[in-house]
Amino acid sequence: MAPLRRVVVDVLTPHEPTMLEIASEVADSESVTAVDVTLLESDREVRNVKLTVEGEAIRLDDVEDTVEDLGGTVHSVDQVACGEYVVEERTVPQE
């Protein structure tokens, strides 16, 4: 199976831990080399964030376990990139 290089997940989290703490904890996973956390929506009790994770061979189960250990829930996997390198999205003339 081709290695998972990038995954974007939609996550629901409580306000604590902070987004910085979430990013740091996920980045500490052995298979992860970089993490980006973007706030999508927030209310009094929870927030919805987009978590972009990159690595050479990401173990998605480890990322999901870390999110759950921090009190969050993975709602969906919104993007994946597998293979020898990450294919970047490009706009084509038809769009």
Could you tell me if residue 91 is inside a domain?
no
- CB burial of 14-37 (b: ≥16 within 10 Å; e: otherwise) equals eeeeeeeebbebbbebebbeebeb
Structure confidence at residue 88 (pLDDT): 84
Domain that holds residue 22: 4-82
Neighbours of 46 (CB within 10 A): 15
The CATH number given to whatever domain includes residue 62 is 3.30.70.1340
Contact predicate 75/11, CB 8 Å: yes
Asked if pLDDT for residue 95 goes beyond 70, the answer is no
Assigned domain for 20 exists:
yes
Domain count, the chain: 1
Residue 70 lies in a domain: yes
Question: What are the tens digits of pLDDT across the range 28-65?
Answer: 999 999 999 999 999 999 999 999 999 999 999 999 99
**What is the rounded distance in angstroms from the CA atom of residue 81 to the CA atom of residue 71?**
26
Q: For residues 82, 84, 86 and 89, what is the CA-based torsion angle, rounded to 10 degrees?
A: -90
76 within domain boundaries? yes
> Does residue 4 register a pLDDT over 70?
yes
In a domain, 47, yes or no: yes
Domain contains 34 = yes
The pLDDT value recorded for residue 43 is 94
Give the integer Cα–Cα distance in Å for 83 and 76: 21
| DSSP category for residue 93 | T
